[in-house]
Chains A and B, each alone.
Chain A
């Protein structure tokens, strides 16, 4: 058979698979299929899709596609962020309970209880006497999120950093500053994507003396004030490149 003819037969296979050919044409295509393995294989690759077409509704195909409301993504992010911070508090509570012992433990449990009733933790109220503080860095580029939980200890301050959205492998050096502008290093960590973005660090500066927390992340520095009046601070951070 000539290539031209074969190509014509092939073009009929769509209508054939859909069962839309008139009887005489259908019989002719069937006869060709008997002797042409290539067309039989091509037909097999179309039959599955042709059968699925029966499920579709033409009016739905032509209706404009539904798209989600513009703010749905932000709502989901907010819900996940709230859930994440609740889980972090749970984790801290479990960790501190496990490591608890003696008088220090009693102090820690007190701190943890205070955290559990922080505003934003769902139960509201309390917290004005809480020694633990949560700081959010607000002046950060889009997509970057930095926050810290600060907890007083006999040695100084324990700092839990939560970082996301910066380049993987970036070295982050954390520091505290007192009201007189003196800097106290709190250690460093390397931010890894896909790993745990939490780092637990410590500084010798007493939390009651700390006025500001900062992170040198690569070439950038982000800072946020540490408030004394309330337990939960939405700090107005300042970023400088």
Chain B
């Protein structure tokens, strides 16, 4: 049980994880069409290697992400092999894949925490706005902003742990 050898199992895995896999594929490939290709290839590879998946060892989600990671690398190589578009043009900065996966997970975790917490973390930390200014804008005491930062960070940790994060 648990292996991904049946076509039906693939369907269940798809409905559980395709959204996340696609989100990360778009994030790392920067192209929705390529991301579709990557997700399709991921499930095909997962199905072909389905008897090697062991739920005792790791989660299905982690396994699918590991496959997608390889698919993204292969697609990236294929793209790099194509001729360069503009001569003398600036190569876009390429984020290393491991870092892209971490970054995407943090962004995804930020989307999953409560709106109040997300708002405050975005404004005070990412946009570096003073607590007093954000407090005035939201019409709450400054202390509330501080406690939302604290509980927001804790919620973020829980959301990341649900995605397999551990420190």
Contact = CB atoms under 8 A, between A and B. Distances in A.
Contacts of A77: 7, 10-11, 14
Interface string A83-99: 11000000000000000
A105 interface: no
B112 to A, nearest CB: 10
A14 B150 contact: yes
A76 to B, nearest CB: 5
Contacts of B146: 11-12, 14-15
Nearest to B102: A55
A68 B125 CA distance: 31
A144 B145 CA distance: 53
Interface string B127-167: 11001000000000001001101111110110010000001
Size category of the A interface is 35 or more
A69 interface: yes
A190 to B, nearest CB: 16
Contacts, number: 141
B4 to A, nearest CB: 10
Given A53-B106, A73-B14, 18 more contacts: A13-B150, A14-B150, A14-B151, A18-B153, A20-B124, A48-B157, A49-B156, A53-B125, A55-B106, A56-B106, A61-B122, A65-B19, A66-B23, A68-B22, A72-B22, A76-B43, A77-B10, A80-B10
List of 8 A-B pairs having minimum Cβ-Cβ separation, nearest first: A14-B150, A48-B167, A58-B126, A55-B103, A14-B149, A68-B22, A56-B106, A194-B1
Contacts of B3: 194
B6 A193 contact: yes
B114 interface: no
Contact of A20 (B39, B125, B156, B160): B125
B11 A68 contact: no
A57 B103 contact: yes
A contact patch SS: helix
B157 A66 contact: no
Nearest to A7: B147
Size category of the B interface is 35 or more
A67 B22 contact: yes
Most buried by A among B8, B47, B124, B160: B8
B27 interface: yes
Contacts of B5: 194
A209 interface: no
Contact of A66 (B35, B47, B154): B35
A62 interface: yes
B160 A49 contact: yes
B35 to A, nearest CB: 7
Contacts of A17: 153
Interface in A150-165: 164-165
